[in-house]
Structure formats: structure tokens, C-alpha cells
Chains A and B, each alone.
Chain A
């Protein structure tokens, strides 16, 4: 990845900027080299980066030119350069809404998602789900289910997070993957746990009893992930408020026990949750308040501010 500095720019003191004076039509013209063989990964990467940069800066791409660029980009799948491939996935996601016929990359993405290169599988899944509609989702359902329970954590995470996004498009299909999500929740990986919990909650949230059971199960089995714990605390608080349960319940006890978790993030979440519960007695509030007071003298500014804000409520 060599990017040469322009000596002139360096001397002028303003620092070199490879994106200075970037012109969309010039870049799109350059993108024609994507069609050449053999593919020069470095040059193509540079041009692709410029396209994404332009998009990021708010440059408007018309449908025709976006589609042309998109199609040209698909040729780059012939190269095995890792960074280039990953940038292609990114480009697919960024251009999904402005280019036509994006589904032409479906077979390439499906191939990568089930292929041998673990590095490609997660990002390929995420790109694929960005362009998938309800019908297509059923076609790749089998792969998605396999991916959710995959041993490679990045594959599992990518599949789970994508499943979450897909609920907005095809809730009924994703609902069928609940068992896979359940299995993924027992992963050791802290992010996979978090993602699996999220998917399970979103699938069950309309059924209070199901949520209650799920909460019960997870609080007993003890998750490792601090992110999952924070999510559980929020689910628990919501349950408490919805059920208008007294604070004698095991749900409250769970939240309270999180004040003794080893992660600051979890302690803070628990303290915050308790403070926000309606009808808390002074006795119930006390441990939460004292924890927050401790945080007020933390060396970390964010924690101090957060604690002060919460206490102020």
C-alpha cells in the first residue's frame, strides 16, 4: 500500500492530500481500468478508495454512473488481493441504494460467505444481507443458519448482526433461526454472546413470558460478555417496569448483583437502571448511589460526567 507524497505539497506545508481537487467524472473515468486484465490491485484499490471518499463527502452519483461504477467494481472479484476484496464488499454496501441491479453480486458473495477464506466470510455475509430482499433471504437461509452457529466468531457475529437487520425486511424468515441464535448464545466469545442475546430478545420481545424465561435462563447460566450484561440489565429493567413487580423479585436481585460485576460498564449500567426504577426505596437505592458517588471521583472524565449526570436525576 504505497502512497507517494508529492514533494511540492510537502514543501508548501499544507501536507499532501490525495483527495485534493478530486473530481467525480475523472475518478469514474479512471475506474474503467477495473475492466482491464490483469488487475492491478494497488491502482484499483486507490481508485475505489477515491470513489468511497467522494460518496462520503456527499458527492452525488446519478443512477447510471453509479450502476456503471458498480458493474466495473464487480470485475475486481477476480483479484485475490485481500484488501481489494474487502473494499469491494464496502463498495457494495455503500452503493446498494444508488446503483441498479446490485443483486448481480449475490453469487460472488454467497461463494465468499461459504468459502475457505475465513477473512472474507464475515464481511461477505454483511454485504450480502445489505442487498438481500425477502425472497433472496429464503434462498440463502440455509447458509445463514450455518453461519450463525459457525465456530469462527466473526462469521457468527456477522450472521447474527445481519439477522437483526433482516428482521426489518423479513421477520418471519428470521424467526425460524431462533434455535441457531440460542445455540450461538452459549459461545465463549463476548461479542457473539451479545449479538445472540440481541437477536433472541428482538425475536421474543412481544411475548413477555418468553422474555422472562430467557432472562431467567441467562441470569442463571452467567454470561461473560459485559455488553450482554448491559443488555440483560436493560431487558430486566423493562420487565420490572412492565410487570410493575415489587422489588422483591429475582429480576431486581439480578440487577442489584450486577453492581458487583467486574466490569465498570456493567456496574454503571446496573446503578443507572436502579436509579431510574420508579418507586425505589432508599434502601434499594443506597448501593447504586454509593457506586455512582465512587465513579464521580474516577480518573476517567467520561465516567465522572456520566455518574454525575445520572446522580443528578
Chain B
């Protein structure tokens, strides 16, 4: 937490991209989201979308992701601040989901994007928001994100709407042989009973 002394000076000196809210210098805008990315539990990128040129090169993006990961992977606090940016995040089994905005953005707005992303993926991946399922259904994940944020603007915040539009569900028939056998078994039973009627 910053002390009161010298705060005004440092705030002005840092200018527009400085940490903390610079009152009124920012233009009200729909362009709120800087980036959304999903990392595995080694901090490697699985999916990432950057919406402005804060990190223009892939190298800078990946360095940023690494920094964010280092800062957040061991804590549970959902929100972090650095580099003049607010990062809200959520971990799920072996994945980390991040939404990034400027530090002067409304944190609850950023959270609404994160929540929508997670809930939508939760449905698409049949409640298995983990690396294996994500990789197997990467197209679904790409489409989900595409429906939530467009060019940095929040397009949709209601996961139900996203799910409806994407209309994609992971197919779980290949996942375990055991469960397939079970399904076939119960189908056989049902046919047997219906024939007996």
C-alpha cells in the first residue's frame, strides 16, 4: 500500500500508464480488455489473445505471461496488480485462466469476463476444465473466447448466451473404455426389456 507522502508527485510523473487510477485522464471507452490467456501449471501458454499493442511481440507476450504466472501461481487471491495493469485470474485443476486490463479499469468488469470464460468452458468441457480436455477441444475454446471478447471489447458476459452461440460440447465417448462398455451394456438391457414387453 502506498504511503500518502509524495504520492501525488509520483502519480503525475508516471503519467497515463502508471499504476493506480489516474483520475479523469483516461478516455471512457469500450476497449477494456488487454489480454486473455490460459496457461498450464508449468506456465506454458495454451491459448492467448492480446487486444492491444502493450506487448507487441510474441517474445514480450510470453515474458509477460511468465511474470504473471510467477506472481500468481502460488497464491489464491484472484487478483494481482503490476506493470500498470490489473490481472484477475482463476485456477482450475491444472490450468490458470487470466484476464488483463489497465489498472484503471473496473475490477468487477474484468472479473465478469473471467467468470464468463470459466463458466462457458465448464459447460463445453463437461465440467472438466483441465489441460487434457482443453487441448482435445481447443476449437471449442477458441470459439468461446471469440464470443466473449472482440478486439478488446466485452462482447458477451452471460455464459448461457456464449454456450448457445458456440453450440459445442466435448465428446466424452472416447474418454474411458469402461464407461463406453457401461453405455453399451445398459443399451442392450433396454432393448432386451422393450422386446419382452
Contact = CB atoms under 8 A, between A and B. Distances in A.
Most buried by A among B107, B157, B161: B107
B139 to A, nearest CB: 4
Interface in B95-148: 106-109, 111-112, 131-132, 135-140, 142-143, 146
A230 B106 contact: yes
Contacts of A313: 20-21
Given A83-B168, A161-B150, A49 B108 contact: no
Contact of B30 (A195, A300, A312): A195
A302 B21 contact: no
Contacts of B27: 205, 238
A276 B28 CA distance: 14
B78 A302 contact: yes
Interface string B45-66: 1011000000000100010000
A300 B77 CA distance: 9
Contacts of B47: 56
A297 B151 CA distance: 35
Nearest to B59: A58
A231 B28 contact: yes
B108 A264 contact: yes
Nearest to B77: A301
B88 interface: yes
B168 A268 contact: no
Given A268-B108, A276-B23, A83 B139 contact: yes
Contacts, number: 161
Given A272-B21, A301-B78, A305-B79, A17 B45 contact: no
Given A1-B170, A123-B146, A195 B153 contact: yes
Q: How large is the interface on A (under 10, 10 to 19, 20 to 34, 35 or more residues)?
A: 35 or more
- In the A-B complex, the 5 residue pairs with the closest CB atoms: A198-B30, A234-B28, A276-B23, A58-B58, A306-B107
Given A2-B174, A90-B142, A191-B158, 17 more contacts: A3-B137, A5-B136, A18-B138, A49-B138, A49-B139, A83-B168, A86-B143, A164-B153, A201-B28, A234-B28, A264-B108, A276-B23, A302-B107, A302-B111, A303-B107, A306-B108, A313-B21
Interface of A: 1-5, 15-19, 45, 48-49, 52-53, 56-58, 82-83, 86-87, 90, 119, 122-123, 126, 154, 157-158, 161-162, 164-165, 190-191, 194-195, 198, 201-202, 205, 227, 230-231, 234-235, 237-238, 241, 264-265, 268-269, 272, 276-278, 300-303, 305-306, 308-310, 312-313
Interface of B: 1-2, 20-21, 23-24, 26-30, 45, 47-48, 58, 62, 76-79, 81, 88, 106-109, 111-112, 131-132, 135-140, 142-143, 146, 150-151, 153-158, 161, 165-171, 173-175
